[in-house]
Amino acid sequence: MLVLSDCPERLAGFAAVEEGSAVPFESLAPTEQALWRTLGTGAHVWRGPGRDAEPAGFWSVAVVVGEARSSQFDALRESLAAGLEFPGPTACLALTGRGFHGQRGRPWAALPGNLHLCVVFPEPGLPARALTSLPMLPVMALVDALRALSGGTLRPGIKWVNDVLVDGRKIGGVLAASQTQRDRVGFLLFGIGLNVAAAPPVPVTPFVPRVGSLADAGMRATWADAAVAVLDALARRLVALVREGPAPLLEAYRAASLVIGREVCLFPEASSEAATANPPAPLVRGTVREIGADLSLTLEGVEAPVTSGRLAFAEDCRGQLDGWTS
């Protein structure tokens, strides 16, 4: 894996700094120049080999910047829509930055020592009908990576749709975007945030009552360790999805789910913190019995599967439920 960076002094554990060197921007290959224009800064770029994840040779290039000027996910999505070409599977990391966000534009604090990763899979070899399975891929890769990093001592779980919790605390989340070309998936774009070194201050809501980090869970890991583990897991999950189809991915997602068998409330989506701190009455409330292949929820006593909404566990909004009607 080739690494391009503006902060080689901070790449320990991720790249072989002694084997690379700073080069003029003009000496980069055209695809590398386009990536650097999108994400990097400076007229010179450190260019060298990275620490390969498995399977070896899967990842083409990684761009690592010390501070992102804005959301890398948004920048990549705009560039992909404009026709930016990639040499192959590409990882983009920011050690910190501004303007990061989760679902529906909700702010995500980019603290030093945490993982802020975006990945692009150009032409991943999937039929367009696979799109319903794709939100499962990055969140299961994050679960896989946490299991591997901890040697199986951590028990991460998924809060529908794409939050990862450890011991009831949110430590990570994912974003996903894609484009189809006729009957094929043209590209996949995933954004993954993981609290490695520190838990950011987050207002308490029924949706995120507690926030944690790997350090809080007693794990000694760096952002580089986490990045390699997540890249490894992403590659393995994508290869398996292409080879085996969505059934094994769905089975793994269901097994890691924290919502099956629990009473939940589904609320309208809200982007503002004021709305999430004082949510309206839930759209629906009930015990989750099943997660469908399209990630819809089947709730006990609710006729139609639930396909959208923001989920809270009933115990996390018990005080407010008395004033609501189902």
Asked if residue 35 is part of any domain, the answer here is yes
Distance, CA of 263 to CA of 299 (rounded, Å)? 9
pLDDT band, very low/low/confident/very high, at 20 (cuts 50, 70, 90): very high
Residues 293 and 204 in one domain: no
Residue 238 counted as domain residue: yes
Structure confidence by residue, pLDDT tens digits, 135-164: 899 999 999 999 999 999 999 999 999 999
Across the range 301-324, mean pLDDT stands at 82
CATH number at residue 51: 3.30.930.10
Question: What's the mean pLDDT in 20-44?
Answer: 92
Same domain, 250 and 286: no
pLDDT digits (tens, 9 = 90+) for 176-224: 999 988 899 999 999 999 999 999 988 888 999 999 999 999 999 999 9
Residues 305, 240 within the same domain: no
List the 284-291 sheet strands across, edge first: 297-299, 284-291, 263-267, 310-313
Q: How confident is the model at residue 133 (pLDDT cuts 50, 70, 90)?
A: confident
Tell me, yes or no, whether 276 lies in a domain.
yes
Q: For 106-115, what is the mean pLDDT?
A: 89
pLDDT of 295 over the 70 cut: yes
- Decide which of 56 and 295 is more confident: 295
Cβ-count burial 307-316 (b if 16+ within 10 Å, e if not): eebbbbbbeb
Would you say residue 131 lies in a domain? yes
* 250 and 275 share one domain: no
The verdict on 76 and 55 lying in the same domain is: yes
The CA–CA distances, whole Å, from 326 to 58, 206, 290, 311 equal 49, 17, 20, 15
Copy the structure tokens of residue 302: 């609710």
Residue 321: its pLDDT value, please? 53
Domain residue limits at 267: 263-321
pLDDT tens for each residue of 164-176 = 999 999 999 999 9
* pLDDT for position 276: 54
pTM of the model: 0.93
* Residue 51 to residue 224: CA distance in whole angstroms: 9
32/159 same-domain check: yes
Query: What's the average model confidence in pLDDT over 44-68?
Result: 90
pLDDT of residue 189: 97
Cis peptide before 3 (omega within 30 of 0): no
Same domain, 51 and 83: yes
Q: Where are the beta strands (DSSP E) in the chain?
A: 2-5, 21-24, 44-49, 61-65, 90-94, 115-122, 157-159, 163-166, 169-181, 184-194, 263-267, 284-291, 297-299, 310-313
Which of residues 235, 256, 277 is at a domain's end? 256
Domain annotation covers residue 243: yes
Is pLDDT above 90 for 101? no
- What whole-number distance in Å separates Cα of residue 45 and Cα of residue 286? 54
| Same-domain status, 75 and 220 | yes
pLDDT number for residue 117: 98
Same structural domain, 11 and 56: yes
Judged against a pLDDT cut of 80, whether residue 280 lies above it is answered with no
How many separate domains does the chain show?
Answer: 2
Evaluate if residue 271 carries a pLDDT over 90: no
Residues 252 and 297 in one domain: no
Residue 326 lies in a domain: no
Compute the distance between CA of residue 228 and CA of residue 54 in angstroms, rounded to an integer.
Answer: 9
Of 237, 256, 275, the last residue of a domain is 256
262 or 272, higher pLDDT: 262
What does the block give as tokens for 264? Answer: 């939940």
Q: How many CB atoms are located within 10 Å of the residue 180 CB?
A: 15
Distance CA 311, CA 314 (A): 9
Which residue, 230, 225, 204, is CA-closest to 215?
Answer: 225
Confidence band for 56, pLDDT divided at 50, 70 and 90: confident
Give me 59's structure tokens: 């990842």
Alpha helices in the chain (DSSP H): 30-39, 72-81, 136-149, 223-244, 247-256, 273-277, 318-321
Residues 252 and 294 in one domain: no
Q: How far apart are CA 81 and CA 76, in angstroms?
A: 8
**Final residue of a structural domain among 229, 256, 283:** 256
